[in-house]
A and B are shown apart, each in its own frame.
Chain A
Amino acid sequence: MSRPEHIAPPELFYNDTEAKKYTSNSRIAAIQAEMTLRAVELLSLGDDGPYYLLDIGCGSGLSGEILDEDGHVWAGMDIAPSMLDIAADKDVEGDLFLQDIGQGMGFRPGTFDGAISISVLQWLCNADKKENKPRYRLQRFFSTLFMSLQRGARAIFQFYPENDLQIEMIMGIAMKCGFTGGLVADYPNSKKARKFYLCLFAGQAAPGQKQDLPKGLGSDEADNGIAYTDSRIQTQRRGKTSRKSVKDTASWILHKKELSRKRGKEGVPLDSKYTGRKRKPKF
């Protein structure tokens, strides 16, 4: 199955039918909920009660509902009207906006305590109209987002990177816009369970307060595979040396010649320093 962002731009891909399918699919809803919870965990918000958050690419409100449950006050934006209509029908408590994040955010500086984004960023990397547009759009997005966040706030993006080049492009542009941080990978060794979270920090809350990149889940079992392969190679080597036979060595040739002479065979060549000499490969 090809990647959705290669099929059509998001506002066309998520039409009424697709939007309804996406939202009513219990498997998708469960995965989205799990990823939202993990993103909120990575936000590392304090304990001082509800915060004012931004949900980038809120879609039909699957992630927004999780924010509602925690009591946060949030605003969300999406480019697909069909998805937003479903969110409005679900009566999510957040403020919804029909917006193209590639055109930039329109918020005053320091508005939000944090931002999350679930399964969205890969859509921004596509050139729906022109060649160099994705870079410009990413730049516009990250620079305006940086300003709209409180100092020390985080932006957590769960997304599906197409390849390393895409990751590099996104991170390069984010860094240029002032963000620090990096990529956190959960369960990096499993093809199915693997999830990537881009964790960006918008400056520091207080000068000198360094922010540490959170650790990915399931990253402790990474080293077990190597010891097994080492021992297999060793047995192979031992096997090879023991398989080498006695036949064809010089001493064996002399022994066989002696046997022939004893048996009375005529014409056995005399032994000399050339008997059993190593010949050139062409023989």
Chain B
Amino acid sequence: MRLITHNMLKCHVKNCTDPDKQFPLRFKDVQLEQIDAERNDEFLVRMLPRIDWPALSKTTKELDITLPETVPGNPEDDEEFLQALHTAILETHIKQGSMLCDGCGHEYKITNGIPNMLLAEHEI
């Protein structure tokens, strides 16, 4: 799973609705893998408003990935920024580990790059 999708994930357990806690999901014991991907600047610029930058900053810090603290004023012209963004969100894959929700404590395990989002009977 790439970081761009992780930035969109929130906990969907019943009654876990505190927006500060259910998102972003905190990583635990993760193994990363970098896989090259073709860069598309139009896509990156279009997705920028949708990405929650504070959450992405927090996550990349946890994973020791470098990313600017704030989005620059003119992102479409900032080559360095776009490249850093592309590497961080589209080329970084989480292969193993788990994600924790600070709101309800549910742990989503990740095996072979596939997170397990299945909920128990009492969480639906």
Across the interface, name the chain B residue whose C-beta is closest to A102. Answer: B124
A29 and B45 alpha carbons, distance in the complex (Å): 34
B12→A97 contact, CB < 8 A:
no
Which residues of the other chain, A, contact B47 by a CB distance below 8 angstroms? 52
> B8 at interface (Cβ–Cβ under 8 A)?
yes
Taking the closest CB of chain A, its distance from the CB of B45, in whole angstroms, is 10
Which of A49, A103, A105, A106 interacts with B42 by CB under 8 Å? A49
A50 and B1 alpha carbons, distance in the complex (Å): 18
A-contact 0/1 string along B82-115, CB 8 Å cutoff: 0000000010000000000000000000001111
B8→A108 contact, CB < 8 A:
yes
Take A73-B90, A97-B114, A98-B116 as given contacts and tell me if A103 and B12 are in contact as well, using a CB distance cutoff of 8 Å.
Answer: yes
A-contact 0/1 string along B22-50, CB 8 Å cutoff: 01000000000000011010110011001
Taking the closest CB of chain A, its distance from the CB of B70, in whole angstroms, is 20
A96→B9 contact, CB < 8 A:
no
Taking the closest CB of chain B, its distance from the CB of A92, in whole angstroms, is 11
Interface residues of B in 1-19 (CB under 8 A from A): 1-2, 4-5, 8-12
Which residues of the other chain, B, contact A48 by a CB distance below 8 angstroms? 42, 46
A84 and B2 alpha carbons, distance in the complex (Å): 16
> A31 at interface (Cβ–Cβ under 8 A)?
no
B114→A96 contact, CB < 8 A:
yes
A106→B114 contact, CB < 8 A:
no
Across the interface, name the chain B residue whose C-beta is closest to A144. Answer: B12
Which residues of the other chain, A, contact B46 by a CB distance below 8 angstroms? 48-49
A107→B9 contact, CB < 8 A:
yes
Which residues of the other chain, B, contact A52 by a CB distance below 8 angstroms? 4, 43, 47, 50
A140 and B124 alpha carbons, distance in the complex (Å): 9
B124→A111 contact, CB < 8 A:
no
A106→B113 contact, CB < 8 A:
no
A71 and B115 alpha carbons, distance in the complex (Å): 23
A111→B1 contact, CB < 8 A:
no
Which residues of the other chain, B, contact A79 by a CB distance below 8 angstroms? 118
Which of B37, B40, B117 interacts with A106 by CB under 8 Å? B117
Chain B's interface size range is: 20 to 34
B118→A49 contact, CB < 8 A:
no
A103→B119 contact, CB < 8 A:
yes
Take A98-B114, A106-B117 as given contacts and tell me if A49 and B1 are in contact as well, using a CB distance cutoff of 8 Å.
Answer: no
Which of B5, B23, B43, B50 interacts with A49 by CB under 8 Å? B43
Take A95-B1, A110-B50, A111-B8 as given contacts and tell me if A84 and B90 are in contact as well, using a CB distance cutoff of 8 Å.
Answer: no
Which residues of the other chain, B, contact A111 by a CB distance below 8 angstroms? 8, 50
Across the interface, name the chain B residue whose C-beta is closest to A78. Answer: B114
A103→B40 contact, CB < 8 A:
no
A95 and B23 alpha carbons, distance in the complex (Å): 18
A100 and B43 alpha carbons, distance in the complex (Å): 29
List residues of chain A with CB under 8 Å of any chain B CB: 48-52, 71, 73, 75, 77, 79, 84-85, 88, 93, 95-100, 103-108, 110-111, 140, 144
A50-B40, A96-B113, A98-B116 are known; give 11 further A-B pairs, CB within 8 A.
A51-B43, A71-B38, A71-B40, A73-B43, A77-B117, A88-B114, A95-B1, A104-B124, A108-B8, A108-B23, A108-B52
- 20 A-B residue pairs with CB within 8 Å: A52-B4, A71-B40, A77-B117, A84-B114, A88-B113, A88-B114, A93-B37, A95-B1, A97-B1, A97-B114, A98-B118, A100-B118, A100-B119, A103-B117, A104-B124, A106-B12, A106-B117, A110-B50, A111-B8, A144-B12
User: Which 5 A-B pairs rank lowest in CB-CB distance, beginning with the nearest?
Assistant: A106-B12, A99-B117, A49-B42, A95-B5, A111-B8
